[in-house]
Amino acid sequence: MKSPTRMPLVVANWKMNPTTSEEATRLFSAISASLKKTKATVVVAPPAIFLGALKQGMRKAPKHIALGAQNVHPLESGPHTGQLSVRMLYASGASYCIVGHSECRALGESDALVNAKVHALLKSRMTPILCVGELERDQSGKYYAVVETQVRASLHDVKKKDIEKVVIAYEPIWAISSGDGKGRTATPEDAHEMRLFIVKILTDLYGRTMAERVQILYGGSVNETNAEGIFTQSGVNGFLVGGAS
Ligand code: PEP
């Protein structure tokens, strides 16, 4: 198995937690302090309303900690109630942004919309964290086609020179803690085989050299007990962590 060459990347998706700016600031300070010597890039993605407060805390944070947003609208401005643009998020301190999360796809987000978000982020030099993943694993392997469609459609028209700026998070919905409620977790082999499959799609689209530069994360009930095993045995470049973060 090819070992990751870049510094591992861990993305903390706080979802709609915590409930106050004070709590978010406290948690962020504690994380920054405890990660001073960590050899990984850590992206904290709080609810967007707390980004500004955490941006203040970034002054004291180590360089390998960054802020991320959980979603974005692909347009710059206009009549889009409740939405935030790339520029607004960037001004609030975010340099990464999650797109295509299964909880957003469940609300109707299409691959075409995810693709528009990826382009908007790349245009503004923010890093898209593109989430893909199947709802179920069937015996006949149809889940491969689900992931392939998501990857290809979400990366439509992304140029070869830009592909290494995209992070892909493989998040099988059945393994996400908010998923189907059955509490299943993926094995290192599950993550390994899908990582290889995504590299194969990227190779097809962009050639092997560029494909191997793309960081591929795993997400789905990662916690302090299973993280080490998945990381060392699957070859992924890091994690997208929800509940445990
Ligand atoms: C997620 O929702 O992106 C996720 C990985 O959640 P959890 O870690 O809670 O399964």
Give the residue, by CA position, lying nearest to ligand 1 atom 7.
242
CB neighbour list of residue 78: distance below 8 Å, 6 or more residues apart: none
Q: Which atom of ligand 1 is least distant from the CA of 176?
A: 10
What pLDDT does 1 receive? 42
How remote is the CA of residue 207 from the centroid of ligand 1, in Å? 30
Distance, in Å, from the CA atom of 204 to the CA atom of 172, rounded to the nearest integer, reads: 22
pLDDT tens per residue, range 107-160: 999 999 999 999 999 999 899 999 999 999 999 999 999 999 999 999 999 999
Ligand 1 site: residues with CB under 6 angstroms?
13, 171, 176-178, 219-222, 240-244
Pocket test for ligand 1, best of 11, 16, 103, 176 (most atoms within 8 A of CB): 176
Which of 237, 225, 241, 227 has its CA nearest to residue 176?
241
pTM, full prediction: 0.96
Q: Which atom of ligand 1 is least distant from the CA of 13?
A: 3
Residues tagged active-site = 101, 171
Which of 64, 76, 78, 67 has its CA nearest to residue 27?
67
Q: What is the mean pLDDT of residues 153-171?
A: 98
* % residues pLDDT > 90 (the chain): 90
